[in-house]
Amino acid sequence: MMQSEKVLKMEAKELKEHIARQYDSIEKHRKFNAFITVNKGADRPTIAIKDNITVKGMRATGSSKIIDNYIAPYSATAVERLKNLSIIGKTALDAFGTGSTGSNSDYGPVRNPHDEKRVAGGSSAGNGVALALDMCDFALGTDTYGSLRSPSSFCGVVGLRPSYGLVSRYGLMDLSMSLDTIGPMAHDVYGAAYILSMIVGHDSRDCLTEKSKKIEYHKELDIDAKRLTMIVLEENDSDLVDRKVAKTVASAVERLEQAGVKKVTAKLPDLDKSIPMYYLSMAAEFASAMQKFDGLRYGPREEGYELEEIVSKTRGRYLNAEIKRRIMLGTFVTMKEQQSKWYAAAIKARARLKQEINKVMERGDVLITPTMPVLPWKIEEIMDDPLKNYAMDLFSGLAPIIGGPALSVPCGNIGELPIGLQIGAKRFDELKCLQLGNLFEGLK
């Protein structure tokens, strides 16, 4: 039985001891900066919630000092739908989701649980650490362009980005609204499937959620390997990917083939365009979403004589450098004189990539790539290097661009550092991702 299933079946006494050990681990590992708020008194299997998702009555900072003292007056729909779980706390992220490392949190860089000098992956960094160091049983994260999968890969846990429109975004702080999703992270595929089953479904407060048939994912994980075809990208082995990562993923593919999964290969020549496309279009949406943080409605406020002075002093003091960079970029690319050259070009590239990826997806059931093309950087190596940071999203965009799901499962280690295998599928085909992930877990 997998770890998640065991926890769900624990007797009261055993569960109490188990949760006490989680609180001890939170206390003992404070320097990893995983939690921003800890909830006392958990008495059911525990779930950590990323701090850009609201929980009624709890502080919600999004890891940004601009709303340092914000207490959420309502819960996100995904949080409301959780049943028989205790929220153990709110976890750190790259402020408002802006990063792939966890080092852009205003509450201290999140540290990798396997090597504290390295990044944990992001932006759902605190969740990755909290799971890897046994501080919680499950977690809710968010994923715009990799945020759930990057920390899953770097911390050695499981994370699923659901299809766009499957889980309500109500109560999620926007990064890029056309791509943002809320999804589960867990110790194993069963745990991710279990949480997913609870949180999916139409919500009148997010008009882009689909009215689809409800699936109990965790009850349908078994599948005959011979019924699945995996598409393996040739780019998995390109010079954009660390050699050790490429090798580990290739050996995972071999194991799946030996287990009976059919394999086809495909090419995505425009893969490298996904990063510039994303950073331009995301920045445009982000700059607009950030306008509400003006010091008047939420968070701390600086003194000033005129409105403009108050707003600019407040934003100047409480927004970090990466957020300012994105606001400036987004403002620039949507200026009347610049729009056609940058923002419109990005939107065109997005449409073309979508076509290309969907064509590749036609060839099989699941798409296999590394989750991250590199091993976790040392914190100081990456902190002030935006381009190095952005390059980590090479494979992150495949799912968001087509609005589809992608799962990250651990597939091996280089020394102490875990590597993640990314399993993507067509829109609303999360069951295939989970089935293949579950099958893979069983091979080890």
Residues forming the site for ligand GLN (CB under 6 A): 97-100, 123, 143-147, 175, 282, 393
Radius of gyration in angstroms for the set of CA atoms belonging to the chain, rounded to a whole number: 21
Distance in Å, CB of 185 to ligand GLN, minimum: 13
* CB-closest chain residue to ligand GLN: 147
Q: Is 34 left (phi over 0), alpha (psi -120 to 50) or beta?
A: alpha
Distance spanning both ends of the chain, measured CA to CA: 14
Cβ–Cβ < 8 Å for 398, 424 = yes
Fill in the DSSP letter of residue 109: P
Residue in 103, 124, 147, 153 annotated catalytic: 147
Residue closer to ligand GLN by CB (options 311, 402) is: 402
Is residue 147 flagged as an active site residue?
Answer: yes
> Which of left, alpha, beta for 199 (phi over 0: left; psi -120 to 50: alpha)?
alpha
Pick between residue 128 and residue 295 the one whose CB is nearest to ligand GLN: 128
SS3 423: strand
Nearest approach in angstroms of CB 98 to ligand GLN is 5
| Residue among 145, 150, 108 nearest 125 (CA) | 150
Of 4, 100, 103, 123, catalytic: 123
Q: E strands of 303-374, at which residues?
A: 366-370
In whole angstroms, the minimum distance from the beta carbon of 164 to ligand GLN comes to: 12
Q: What residues contact 410, with CB distance under 8 A and at least 6 apart?
A: 153, 156, 157, 158, 418, 419, 420, 421
Active-site annotation holder among 50, 90, 426, 432:
50
Rank residues 107 and 190 by Cβ distance to ligand GLN and give the closer one. Answer: 107
Give CA–CA dist 334/218, Å, rounded.
Answer: 43
Report the Cα 313 to chain-centroid distance in Å: 32
Any idea how long the chain is?
Answer: 444
Nearer to ligand GLN, 206 or 365 (CB): 206
DSSP letters for 88-103: EEEE--SGGG--SSST
Per the annotation, the verdict on 274 as an active-site residue is no
HSE on the CB side for 263, CA within 13 Å? 16
Shortest approach of ligand GLN to residue 264 CB, angstroms? 28
Residue 382, token pair as written in the block: 């990456």
Q: Do 160 and 433 form a contact (C-beta atoms < 8 A)?
A: yes
Which is nearer to ligand GLN, 148 or 195 (by Cβ)? 148
- Per the structure block, which two tokens stand in for 141? 């994260």
Q: Which residues are catalytic?
A: 50, 123, 147
